[in-house]
Amino acid sequence: MSCANPNLWYGKNHTHHSQFSDSEFLEAFENGSLNPKLFNHEAHLRLAWINIQNHGEQIAVEKTCSGIKHFDVIYGKGDKFHTTITVAAVKVVYHFMKKSKSTDFFDFMEEFPRLRVAFKELLEQHYSSDMFCNKQAKTDYIRPDVLPFD
């Protein structure tokens, strides 16, 4: 399957990542065939959730970062990936997963809607400066300076 032809994207008829099973979503993301229009904020969190489920927190950080970097190179200029925000997202998802009673991602998001609607505010509880605008944080992971992750 070639990613150069948008008509061949896995999920070309899908309008939301929720239309994929976890394994289909992960496979399409990892092989670069997922339509990038489906890879929104919630899909980023879903990727973290799946990787944590499959590998635990530390490997999930590595796989999520490398996967999103690769996806950014395939479908962009390779300049959108943000290291600190990606690592922080995995750590925040992991924090909530430890409190969760949910067994699937969409129930998890219903249980913790702040992940979807107040993600920036969640990060602001950990960082004194705006990590979204920090140039160093884009390329290097910066540990929280207000409240450490678990």
Mean pLDDT of the chain: 91
The full set of domain ranges for the chain reads 15-139
Structure tokens at 89: 């997202």
Count the residues in the chain.
150
Which distant-in-sequence residues (6+ apart) come within 8 Å of 93 by Cβ?
Answer: 45, 48, 49, 52, 115
Report pLDDT for 12. 58
Is residue 147 within 8 A of residue 127, CB to CB? The reply is no
Which distant-in-sequence residues (6+ apart) come within 8 Å of 89 by Cβ?
Answer: 44, 45, 48, 64, 119
pLDDT in tens, 50-95: 999 999 999 999 999 999 999 999 999 989 999 999 999 999 999 9
Mean pLDDT, rounded, for 129-150: 91
Mean pLDDT, rounded, for 8-36: 85
Which distant-in-sequence residues (6+ apart) come within 8 Å of 25 by Cβ?
Answer: 17, 34, 43, 46, 47, 50
DSSP letter at 132 equals T
* Alpha-carbon span 149 to 125, nearest angstrom: 10
Is residue 12 within 8 A of residue 35, CB to CB? The reply is yes
Residue with tokens 């979503």: 25
Model-level pTM? 0.89
Report pLDDT for 4. 41
Helix (H, G, I), strand (E, B) or coil at 97: helix
Answer whether residue 8 shows pLDDT above 80: no
Q: If we measure between CA atoms, which residue out of 22, 70, 71 comes closest to residue 47? A: 22
